[in-house]
Structure 1
Amino acid sequence: MTILLEVEGLETCYGSSQVLFGIHLRMAAGEVATLLGRNGMGKTTTVRSLLGMTPASAGRVRFRGERIEHLAADRIARMGMAVVPEGRQIFANLTVQENLQAFAANRNASENPWSLDRVYQLFPRLAERSRNPGNRLSGGEQQMLAIGRALMTNPHLLILDEATEGLAPLIREEIWQCLAALRAQGQAILVIDKYVKRLMALADQHTLIERGQVVWQGSSAQLEAQPALWQRYIGV
């Protein structure tokens, strides 16, 4: 088993306020993992620290065997870590195709790298709207575009912050099917979302965070066997 991401004792502060207190996490190549917890408990800050956007104040982060906790965000991105951010943050004035092309980079030496055609095969709706500007897309289409844009970097690790937040049920189902297809292709994925039952079907392992600390880690089978955890730490 090749370890892709290893986080040990991660601590992060905003000014004088400490937000993360010793986060630990390990992911293998090709694995799907989740970060679970109520709003404001440190999930997004964890992601920002992994990406170098909010530097860690203590702890170690190894990605593909290299220490990255003190690297700049652009360097970490070039190493093959990509994010679908909360709120999507697509370029509203660029077309779908321009949004995708702006992020094209073959950083992963894959025999089948992500390209426009491959993204359009995954999301046919984007192909239909390839000339539409981002601000003319629905929320679900914007999320598809944000995922496609991240995939165009050919990442070793794809991170989704609030993967299906605010989406209609049918669109949400399309996103889950997309993530399942990516998993089947061997894409490593770290997901933040609140739909625990769907995440249990998708992910190999789960990490529950409460007030900036890891309170539980385990497999989907272990999480399914402890529904009281959902109510206590996630509220579902």
Structure 2
Amino acid sequence: MSLLELKGLEAGYGYSQILFGVDLKLERGEAATLMGRNGMGKTTTVRSIMGLLKPQAGEIRFDGHPITGLAAYKVGRAGVGLVPEGRRIFPTLTVEENLRAFARSRGNWTLRKVYDFFPRLEERKVNLGSQLSGGEQQMLAIGRALMTNPSLLILDEATEGLAPLIRKEIWEKLAALKAEGLAILLIDKDIAAMSKFVDHHTLLNKGEVVWSGTTEALTNDMEVVNSYMHL
């Protein structure tokens, strides 16, 4: 039984349909990517999973249970943590207040563990969210999601707009989370960096899955994948 499974997912906004029968599977402890150019349906897929957009058709199952159309807070309680595009931290709360706002009593991820994982957050714990750099905000967004003690962590544009050294640190941290057994679904454009620890890749084009396979298969099919990424 897969941890996350999408079958025939269709979704859109008003009369504009964005997804056309998307299928996707993510196993426990696996890291996977959702790739494609801007506007191809990646964020719509994430919003559908998270209960932020009600699908028009298809099914979403998490840990064997149907979550299609569930309210976002129920999806979060089920064990799905989201690091949204644009980070969306609370700018007028301190780092520690941001983290505590998402804390759950169960699980291994505590404030202490998040600070050990991202020492820079402890150094800035009394600073407001608005006073952080872009890299620090992304660390905070990841830490905040970890405070919910998820079984699956979804990151929409994991390193967009970050400096190279910060991107490298984020990739190292995500690889460490995967090594701990956390399942991860990633949206990002840095295929080379993701492929160092990701198991499976799914490529969307105009709301449809046009390629899916392992990292080894991706290496062999880079010409095909690049043709969709750079149309």
Q: Same fold (TM over 0.5)?
A: yes
Write the letter of the residue equivalent to 1:96.
Answer: V
The Cα shift of 1:13 comes to 1.8
Write the letter of the residue equivalent to 2:71.
Answer: A
**Does the alignment pair 1:223 with 2:218?**
yes
Unaligned regions of 5+ residues in structure 2, if any? none
Write the letter of the residue equivalent to 2:25.
Answer: R
The Cα shift of 1:227 comes to 1.7
Match of 1:23 in 2: 22
Q: TM-score, normalised by structure 2?
A: 0.98
Match of 1:8 in 2: 7
Distance between the aligned counterparts of 1:121 and 1:43, measured in 2?
A: 32
Match of 2:59 in 1: 60
Report 1:166-181 matches (<5 A): 166-181=161-176
Distance between the aligned counterparts of 1:7 and 1:57, measured in 2?
A: 13
**Does the alignment pair 1:84 with 2:83?**
yes
**Does the alignment pair 1:211 with 2:209?**
no
CA displacement 1:71-129 (0-9 Å, x = unmatched):
1111111111110000000000100000000000145xx4xx10111111111111100
Write the letter of the residue equivalent to 2:100.
Answer: Q
Q: Which runs of 4+ in 1 moved over 6 A?
A: none
Unaligned regions of 5+ residues in structure 1, if any? none
Distance between the aligned counterparts of 2:62 and 2:215, measured in 1?
A: 24
C-alpha RMSD of the superposition: 1.1
Write the letter of the residue equivalent to 1:130.
Answer: K
| Secondary structure of 1:202's aligned partner | coil
CA displacement 1:106-159 (0-9 Å, x = unmatched):
45xx4xx10111111111111100100000000000000000000000001100
- Bigger drift between 222-231 and 33-42 goes to 222-231
Distance between the aligned counterparts of 1:51 and 1:229, measured in 2?
A: 30
Report 1:1-236 matches (<5 A): 2-106=1-105, 110=107, 113-235=108-230
The Cα shift of 1:234 comes to 1.5
Write the letter of the residue equivalent to 1:114.
Answer: W
Distance between the aligned counterparts of 1:123 and 1:70, measured in 2?
A: 34
Distance between the aligned counterparts of 2:230 and 2:168, measured in 1?
A: 21
The Cα shift of 1:230 comes to 3.4
- Bigger drift between 66-75 and 143-152 goes to 66-75
Distance between the aligned counterparts of 1:116 and 1:70, measured in 2?
A: 31
Distance between the aligned counterparts of 1:47 and 1:230, measured in 2?
A: 21
Count residues with an aligned counterpart: 231
